[in-house]
């Protein structure tokens, strides 16, 4: 059985990059009392208000159970609101509150600065190409 060469493994490099990005984002978001998962949740809600818990969990790469716990905390902190009863069916649509929007605006700027730092050594053309290559890799795996 052959072993993976970690120095040339694209998968291993992607994992290292993802870990470095996550660590930097965690550190940058800590003063805002947000985790990366909470930030992701707020960001998705800003783009898709009223999304269901299940859709939100899929969009932020967490389980439905974890999303429910996260939403309870975000609601307790006044960052999101959910009705007590579902307007139709069983879906409790989640909305950002004004405080949630304010916190998201600060967090988005913080995360943008981390991403800018991450690709600061790349030329604009390289940055564009990196995005294209990553999309091609994702497409090749069918995700």
The domain locations on the chain are 31-140
Long-range contacts of 94-103 (CB under 8 A, 24+ apart): 94/45, 94/49, 94/50, 94/51, 94/53, 94/56, 95/45, 95/49, 95/50, 96/42, 96/45, 96/46, 96/49, 100/42, 100/45, 100/74, 101/46, 103/32, 103/34, 103/42, 103/79
Q: Is the pLDDT of residue 90 over 70?
A: no
Hey, what CATH topology would domain 31-140 get? Arc Repressor Mutant, subunit A (1.10.10)
Q: What is the mean pLDDT of residues 68-88?
A: 86
pLDDT of residue 119: 93
For residues 136 and 89, which has the higher predicted lDDT (pLDDT)?
A: 136
Q: Is the pLDDT of residue 123 over 80?
A: yes
């Amino acid at each position: 059985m052959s072993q993976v060469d970690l120095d040339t493994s694209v998968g291993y490099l992607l994992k290292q990059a993802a870990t470095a990005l996550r660590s930097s984002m965690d550190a940058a978001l800590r003063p805002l009392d947000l985790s990366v998962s909470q930030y992701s949740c707020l960001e998705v809600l800003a783009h898709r208000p009223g999304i269901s818990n299940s859709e939100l969990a899929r969009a932020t790469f967490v389980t439905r159970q974890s999303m429910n716990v996260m939403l309870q905390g975000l609601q307790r902190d006044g960052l999101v609101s959910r009705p007590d009863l579902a307007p139709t069916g069983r879906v409790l649509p989640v909305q950002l509150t004004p405080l949630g929007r304010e916190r998201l605006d600060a967090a988005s700027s913080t995360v943008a600065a981390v991403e800018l730092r991450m690709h600061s050594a790349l030329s604009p053309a390289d940055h564009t190409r990196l995005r294209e290559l990553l999309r091609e890799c994702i497409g090749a795996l069918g995700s």
